[in-house]
Homo-oligomer: A and B are copies of this chain.
């Protein structure tokens, strides 16, 4: 398998232990493929309570996110979830610099799978 390994990671729970596990999973798989000389693309898609990972005010692991982003991991925040938060809190939350916004987290996960990406749900 010479082509790039593509992996979508779904995070929709808000507890710090699960967020830490998701980021550890990503760090481990990146290390594995780097050692194997195999190109890899990884995107974490955060929606629902999982979006807190990418909030500047709430993320329990901002340095780890920045570090993985520097290694090329993409972090996608669901715009539907952001709209709900904005409605509830009266203002849009600030996101970590690494976060990109996607229109719908679940649609993103569907489209990545349709494009051949593996799916992990830690």
Contact = CB atoms under 8 A, between A and B. Distances in A.
Q: How many copies altogether?
A: 3
A104 B12 contact: no
Interface residues of A, number: 28
Given A12-B122, A21-B12, A106-B120, A80 B28 contact: yes
Interface of A: 1, 5, 7, 10, 12, 21, 24-25, 28-29, 32-33, 47-48, 80, 103-104, 106-107, 109-110, 113-114, 118-122
12 contacts: A10-B120, A12-B21, A12-B122, A21-B48, A28-B80, A28-B104, A29-B106, A29-B107, A32-B107, A33-B107, A113-B118, A114-B118
